[in-house]
Amino acid sequence: MSDGADGTVEPRTPFPTGAEAEPGEGGEQKPQGLGPRYQRASTLLTRLASTARSFLLYDAGNEAINRSLSALLDSALSTLQVEGQIALTVQPYELKFEDQTVYLNRDRERSLAFRLYRDGVRGLTFRKGFQAEELTRLLEILSIRYTGVNQREDDMVTLLWKARFEHLDVTTVEGIVPEETDAGDEETASSRRLVLPDDVDLPRPTLPPPKGPTWIDVPPERLRALREEAGEAALPDDCLALLGRLRRALSDSKEQLPFGEVAHLFGEVRDYLLSVDRLPALKRFGALLWEMAGEETPEWDPQRHAAVYDLLDSCGHRRAVRRLLRSVPAEERKLRPELIEVLDRVCPDPLVAVMETLDEEEGLATRAVARQALEHYSRRKPGLLEQRFLLSRGRMASDLLRVMAHVGGEASVAFVAQQCLHPDAAVQDEALWHIARTPYSGVLGRSLFEAFRRADPDRRSRILEIVARSGDARFLEPLTRYVEERGDGLGTDEASRVGRVLGILGGPESIARWKAWLQPAGGRRKGFEAPLPRIVAAATALAFIRAEAAAEALGAAFDEADETSQPWILGALAQRQRQAWEAAR
């Protein structure tokens, strides 16, 4: 990231290569995804390179050249107006602005960066005040080195030095001092030092006689040792060994080394070890710090204890715990016992630290492990967990409810059931998920029906499934009143779902009640007296009662049904037939 001139922060994007970069007409590759500041610098340098290549090839009055010069000058002035100065680092094929590549051309003949680098230029700094006169002088120098108008012309560094720019600083490498330089003039000699070009023709060195490669057999145990030495598996032990040597140096009265001078090394090792894959080493790191905290404070370092305790605290603060939990692999959902051991050692209050992480983390594996950690720690402070739940919303609240349901056991059933009335939909869903998997009791019944009355259609459907599995006939009366009170305001689909539960819970003893809802209108008019939703509920209830009397009642209702109610009666009869086939199989 980089602070812009106006105080904003822009991302640094790696300069695209290969298929992601489009070469321009001169071989420059156009950057993609650069922020506005870097894009301005990139445009300026591309125009500078393009203009320099053609500056001496055309007449001074050439309209295209004049337009190009005007555009280049405007680009330079506007960029300097915003930035104040543009400090460029020169590399073999690219120019960098604040470590961000803003110019790239790998064509050795046409690359501005290559020409500068080959001649010993390592940095250019344009400062505010750079105007048309200096721009023209710079273009002349660059164009001479591009076109080779005079093959005996001075190199780039010499030409830039002779130009005496006021608003352009040039950084060069030290190399060969020109023969004509006055050796007594040290300032002049220093400013005109050159470097040999990368492709200069030099006498060929005398090479040894060619010799082919020779195969040497390496014992398997040696190969294994080499691989282990270079592998990451040994790195945690190496880090702890380094800290052990530092600890001995810190205790040496001859060295009198303050802890503050090496604290950053301890911090880097801490950050590296904050991973579930390095928990054993992290435990040893914590033990080392506790041992150091218990040592006597040396006279030359009176602040050592405070610094060591601060480092210990940093292992257990929220950011460290979050980093530790985020290192859980995506496919892993199980809490490791070693993680609890580490949290116990380094966290002043692991429950709060894990809850804070759960509140911010998005990863599913991390959240799963965090919930398991909360289950472990919340047994010590169940009140704190419930207090945090009451202050939470959304996924955080639903996760905390899941933890409370697992920890509380049967004692938490009533509390979970009450959350079916929670104003947050995520908490309602979590409560319903647990209730559907909890052995039914009367405590659940009261909360379930109240939740049913207040829920949306989708959740009412889920609650009805739970009620149907409960087999509790006490739901029969409240559900019956629900259908009667809603009347025509009840949707036929919902009436059908309620009717299914009424039939399952009511059984053969309720046939007479549903027949009464299918009372014919009378006279010559087809149809029924009751509203259509009640007819649908009654027909569906009869379809789920396995008794011949229920089938007879449906048959009689079909004879009396009008065009509106007849499809529902026919559907109920078909449902009975399907159930009979399934029972026969």
Contacts 24+ apart (CB under 8 A), 340-346: 340/373, 340/376, 341/279, 341/283, 342/279, 342/282, 342/283, 342/286, 343/316, 343/373, 345/283, 345/286, 345/287, 345/290, 346/286, 346/312, 346/315, 346/316, 346/320
Is pLDDT of 439 > 80?
no
Could you give the CA distance from residue 463 to residue 460 in angstroms, rounded to a whole number?
A: 5
Above 60 in pLDDT, residue 151?
no
The reported pLDDT for the residue numbered 203 is 60
Q: What angle do CA 201, 204, 207 make, to 5 degrees?
A: 150
Answer whether residue 195 shows pLDDT above 60: no
Least confident range of 1-5, 321-325, 358-362 = 1-5
| Mean pLDDT, residues 139-155 taken together | 66
pTM more than 0.75: no
Does the residue 269 lie in any domain?
A: no
pLDDT value of position 499: 92
pLDDT, tens digit, 9 for 90 and up, residues 212-247: 888 888 898 988 888 877 777 778 888 989 989 998
503 within domain boundaries: yes
- Distance (Å, rounded) from C-alpha 23 to C-alpha 110? 12
Q: What phi and psi, each to the nearest 5 degrees, are found at residue 31?
A: -70, 150
What's CA 307's distance to the chain center, in Å? 32
SS3 state at 90: strand
Other CB atoms within 10 Å distance of the CB of residue 155: 20
Instruction: Write out the H or E segment, with its range, that includes residue 534.
Output: helix 532-543
> 343 falls in which pLDDT band (50, 70, 90)?
confident
492 CB-near residues (< 8 Å, 6+ apart): 532, 533, 536, 568
Listed residues 127, 156, 191: the one ending a domain: 191
**125 versus 275: which is more confidently predicted?**
125
Give me the mean pLDDT over the 499-511 stretch: 92
Is residue 223 one of the residues assigned to a domain? no
Q: Does residue 84 belong to any structural domain of this protein?
A: yes
Is pLDDT of 515 > 60?
yes
Q: Is the pLDDT of residue 187 over 70?
A: no
Domain boundary among 191, 221, 238: 191
Q: Judge whether 468 and 476 are in contact, CB under 8 Å.
A: no
Question: Does 414 score more than 60 pLDDT?
Answer: yes
Which amino acid, 215? W
Q: What is the pLDDT averaged over residues 21-45?
A: 77
Question: What is the band of 497 on the pLDDT scale with cuts at 50, 70, 90?
Answer: very high
Long-range contacts of 420-424 (CB under 8 A, 24+ apart): 420/447, 420/448, 420/450, 420/451, 420/455, 420/463, 421/447, 421/450, 421/451, 421/454, 422/397, 424/393, 424/394, 424/397, 424/398
For residue 12, pLDDT beyond 70: no
Q: How confident is the model at residue 493 (pLDDT cuts 50, 70, 90)?
A: very high
Q: What's the number of domains the chain is made of?
A: 2
Average pLDDT of the residues in 517-528: 80
Q: Average pLDDT for residues 58-77, to the nearest whole number?
A: 78
Pick the range with the lowest mean pLDDT from 67-71, 147-151, 325-329, 346-350.
147-151
pLDDT of 473 higher than 70: yes
Whether the predicted pLDDT of 8 surpasses 60: no
pLDDT of the residue at 487? 84
- Condensed to tens digits (0 to 9), the pLDDT of residues 281-335 reads 888 888 888 888 888 888 888 888 888 888 888 877 777 887 888 788 877 778 8
Does the pLDDT value for residue 17 go beyond 50?
no
Which tens digit of pLDDT belongs to each residue from 371-380? 888 888 888 7
Indicate the residue among 161, 191, 221 that finishes a domain: 191
Q: How confident is the model at residue 146 (pLDDT cuts 50, 70, 90)?
A: low
Helical ranges in 471-519 per DSSP H:
476-486, 492-506, 511-517
3-state secondary structure 131-180: CHHHHHHHHHHHHHHHHCCCCCCCCHHHHHHHHCCCCEEEEECCCECCCC
67 or 191, which is more confident? 67
What confidence score (pLDDT) does residue 394 get? 87
| 397 contacts 408 by C-beta, under 8 angstroms | no
Question: What is the reported pLDDT for 208?
Answer: 82
CA gyration radius, the chain: 41
Domain that holds residue 496: 471-585
Compare 446 and 507 and report the one with higher pLDDT. 507
Residue 110: inside a domain: yes
Whether 291 maps to a domain, the answer reads no
Output the CA torsion 465→467→470→471 (10° steps): -110
Cα–Cα distance, 311 to 263 (Å, whole number): 8
What is the DSSP secondary structure assignment for residue 361, as one 8-state letter?
A: -
Angstrom distance (rounded) from CA 76 to CA 78: 6
Q: Is the pLDDT of residue 168 over 80?
A: yes
Better-predicted residue by pLDDT, 55 or 41: 41
pLDDT given at position 341: 84
Output the six-digit token pair for 575. 């449902």
Average pLDDT over residues 473-482: 89
Mean model confidence pLDDT for the chain: 81
% of the chain at pLDDT higher than 70: 86
State residue 1's pLDDT score: 46
What lies within 8 Å, CB to CB, of 281 at 6+ separation is 236, 237, 239, 240, 273
In a domain, 571, yes or no: yes
pLDDT of residue 124: 94
Assigned domain for 374 exists: no
Interval 38-52 mean pLDDT: 88
Q: What is the pLDDT of residue 24?
A: 52
Q: Which residue has the higher pLDDT, 555 or 203?
A: 555
